Structure 1
Amino acid sequence: MTYAIIGFGKIGQALAHAFARKGIEVAVAGRRPPDALAPQARAIGPTVVARSLKDALHADTIILAVPFGEHREVANALPDWSRKTIIDATNTYGVPPEDLDGLPSSAFLAKAYPGAKLVKGFNHLIAATLAGDPVVEGGHRVVFLSSDDENAMAPVAALAKQLGFAPVNLGRLGEGGALVHARGSTWGPLIFQDLFKKSQ
């Protein structure tokens, strides 16, 4: 399984730290060319590799950490999204609900990636918390996951565990997943909740 983070702002870098901490190779790409990202990527860890957007999208699992308004630009960079898993770490705070056709933001975003398996995840923690060690107080920091594709959930939950987090399945995007979606100028009730699961 190969991984890429698209977007190398605060959230993208926080996720890169999580991969580097576990020695898992991950490609990173953003608006700037790879040679501009490379020093920052190397500073995070040797397994974080700056790539062009085109090259990064060869990965099996792609984490979207771009501003929500840029998701179509990423989608247009690849003609075929089948066999790809997309982890949507974006947020839509401030986006009018009518601009999303009344859908949860991830369901709206999924329309731009036909054929992909989409999971909402890694979006509810602030960057500084997400970048930190997920092992806290004898347990593991929780990440919430939701998807309308049951087959997509297991590999993303496995990745979250590999990164040291405790995945919690909230179910479908429009049901439990609504708890981690921003709507207009309102944050979902689980956004910013820094919870941890005690080790058994």
Structure 2
Amino acid sequence: MDIGIVGAGNIGTTLAGLFTDAGHGVILSDPRGPQSLESTVEDLGPRAHAGDVEEAVRLGSVVVLALPFRNRESLPSGDLFAGKVVVDATTPDGDSAEMLDLPRTSSEYIAEQVPGARVVKTFDTMHWESLREAAGRDGEDRLALFLAGDDPRAKATVAGLVEDVGFAPVDTGTLVEGGRRQRPGTDLYDDPLTEAEARDRLSSVEPSP
């Protein structure tokens, strides 16, 4: 599968490495332009190449938004995202209260901005270093990644990617209620858990207001 990644910070480059290691192709992009990514994609190997944001969206069967939430306005407008599976992996830029205090979840804002896309929220509740270091664990030691979304097929596609990079997908529910459970500052955020621990924790977590 070819995966477009928008954002080449810690999360974006970590995911690019995990996806290429799992055999997927990656189009890595950044608002600064593809020329800023030459050394990064060289390190990632032949399955990765740099592109502009529009190319990453157009060519990716799945598009991962791995940029700070406040930079979402840099995303292309129009119908470029229509029909795409779009992963909201946007993160706080600084204090996590920035996103917790919003009246809606990040994914609700993202979904408005990418009309026609099938949005799934994941890859954003675990610190990038944990993503890099814990990928590929087996059995009971495998860590969980939470995901939320409204489209069952899109969630199944993204859950498959989560498994490909060595994590256990744990469904938190719809984009709104599940997204609220995953927000910064909640009990599911930035606390590496095994699949069993994650499901136990999830059973006691109500959506934040």
Normalised by the length of structure 1, the TM-score is: 0.86
Query: Who is 1:40 aligned against?
Result: 40
Q: CA RMSD in A?
A: 2.0
Alignment partners' CA distance in 1, 2:137 and 2:99: 36
Q: Give the counterpart letter for 2:98 in structure 1.
A: V
Query: Which segments of 5 or more consecutive residues in structure 2 lack a partner in the other structure?
Result: 197-209
Q: Give the counterpart letter for 2:130 in structure 1.
A: T
Query: Who is 2:11 aligned against?
Result: 11
Q: Give the counterpart letter for 1:106 in structure 2.
A: S
Greater relative contact order structure (CA < 8 Å, 6+ sep): 1
Alignment partners' CA distance in 2, 1:134 and 1:68: 24
Query: Which segments of 5 or more consecutive residues in structure 1 lack a partner in the other structure?
Result: none
Deviation at 1:125, TM superposition (A): 0.9
Deviation at 1:88, TM superposition (A): 0.4
Q: Find the partner of 2:191 among 190, 193, 197.
A: 193
Normalised by the length of structure 2, the TM-score is: 0.83
Q: Deviations over 1:115-151 (max 9, x none)?
A: 1000000001111111224233643221100012333
Deviation at 1:111, TM superposition (A): 0.6
Deviation at 1:4, TM superposition (A): 0.9
Instruction: Map residues 1-80 of structure 1 onto 2, 5 A cutoff.
Output: 1-58=1-58, 59-76=60-77, 78-80=78-80
Instruction: Map residues 1-200 of structure 1 onto 2, 5 A cutoff.
Output: 1-58=1-58, 59-76=60-77, 78-92=78-92, 93-95=96-98, 100=102, 102-136=103-137, 138=139, 139-182=141-184, 187-197=185-195
Question: Which shifted more, 117-126 or 142-151?
Answer: 142-151
The count of corresponding residues between Structure 1 and Structure 2 is 191
Deviation at 1:96, TM superposition (A): 6.5
